[in-house]
Amino acid sequence: MAGVVDYVWMDSPVGRLLLAADEAGLRQLLFADGRSEVQPQPGWREDGTRVADAVGQLRAYFAGQRRTFELPLAPEGTPFQQRVWRELLNIPYGQTISYGELARRLGNPNGSRAVGLANGANPISIVIPCHRVIGSTGKLTGYGGGLKTKQWLLALERVGSGLELPLH
């Protein structure tokens, strides 16, 4: 990460979140109680100034008052991961797609496994909506914040969009 990274812990309906940003934008939004331990990196400073907009927009999202995020994003990853994460931003609020469909959209119909790995490495959960990617049968599959969190996020969006999406 370039420059000084500021971070803040945020309590949310899906648990405690760690948000980190530098001058380029939001770098991380991770679940404190997810599949791996999350801690601020050495040298980061606890300061909510750079993440204040993200915190406000997340609160509005959780309240059902926001469907899209308008934030500068600066996730770090390989060129392929970056392509996957950019494509995730094109999945509309309240909708889901399969890993296979995501791979097809990226021009690699046989790449669902690679897409799944890149999806799982997404460092800016919720804002880059990796929770909107599900198995080809409609079944919920792995999520960094846990399957209950994924189900909760999809239910929030289903209610907010007026769509009825099957949750298995």
Asked if residues 38 and 32 have their Cβ atoms less than 8 Å apart, the reply is yes
Question: What is the DSSP secondary-structure string of 7-39?
Answer: EEEEEETTEEEEEEEETTEEEEEEETTSSS---
Closest Cα partner for 145 from 117, 113, 120, 115? Answer: 120
DSSP code at position 44: -
The kind and range of the H/E element at 45 are: strand 45-46
Among candidate residues 19, 54, 127, 130, the one labeled active-site is 130
Q: Is 130 a catalytic residue?
A: yes
| Positions marked active-site | 130
